[in-house]
Amino acid sequence: MTEASAAATPPPAIEAVMREQALAVGYAPASARDGFAALLDLDHQLASILQSTTEPMVGQMRLTWWYEALEKLDREPAPAHPVLQRLAASVLPGGVRGADLAPMIEGWEALLDDGEPLDDERTTRHADARGGVLFASIGRLLGQSGMASLGAAWAKADLAQHVSDEATRSRSGAVAVSELDQALAPKSPKPVRGLSGLAVLARESLRHPDRLPGHPMRATRLAWHGFTGR
């Protein structure tokens, strides 16, 4: 099983999210921006597998390919896939190994449709493995530890926006906002404001669902956080 060498053009809604994230990356130190962006590209790549796969077995095979490909980055040249090549060029030199990133796959596996409801245990497993690993890895590039809990809260907030069941969405969203409020209560250090800015935007999505990515109020909120850390 292989993955295409280049990603397809994302839908407009995803492009708007990616543009917002690019703004957040701009608040990071220049030395870490390429790695920051590459890790977000990896997250989008993994998300696209679930979005484009209707058969759980096929989704599992594709995620397994990525798990193995990430682990191989530590001992083999990156294959001809732009995301993997960017990780090798800008993330591994920052001290993040492919094996450190591979557990993100487990977070997406937790969402594969097996006919069972999306309960709190699976939500937490997804959030810890996806967001926790992602934010901890970006934090390492930024020279900041302790970012995993913020990443888990961010992932819960992002997931809550995509759950179809109203009761589950409401419950998950309330938990995510509470956790984000707690994680964002202290003033964010300047080097990590791009990363914490992603969490601010996720909370804005739950507090103001009418303000879609690209809304000027979201950009203003991100800029205020980048300036003040609040």
Across 145-166, average pLDDT: 93
pLDDT of residue 118: 83
Q: Which residue in 40, 42, 163 sits closest to 111, CA to CA?
A: 163
Q: Which residue in 186, 182, 198, 169 sits closest to 228, CA to CA?
A: 186
Across 94-98, average pLDDT: 98
Across 169-183, average pLDDT: 93
Across 78-88, average pLDDT: 96
pLDDT for 6-48, tens place per residue? 445 667 777 889 999 999 999 999 999 999 999 999 999 999 9
pLDDT surpassing 60 at residue 52: yes
Higher-confidence residue of 129 and 53: namely 129
Virtual torsion, Cα 146, 152, 155, 159, nearest 10 deg: -170
Q: How far apart are CA 132 and CA 51, in angstroms?
A: 21
If phi > 0 it is left, if psi is from -120 to 50 it is alpha, else beta; for residue 143 that is left
pLDDT of residue 83: 97
What is this structure's pTM?
Answer: 0.94
Across 188-215, average pLDDT: 95
Structure tokens, 109:
């596996």
Across 60-77, average pLDDT: 97
Across 141-163, average pLDDT: 95
Look-up: residue for tokens 């901890």? 136
Across 127-133, average pLDDT: 98
Spatial neighbors of 120 by CB under 8 A, at least 6 apart, are none
Average pLDDT of the chain is 92
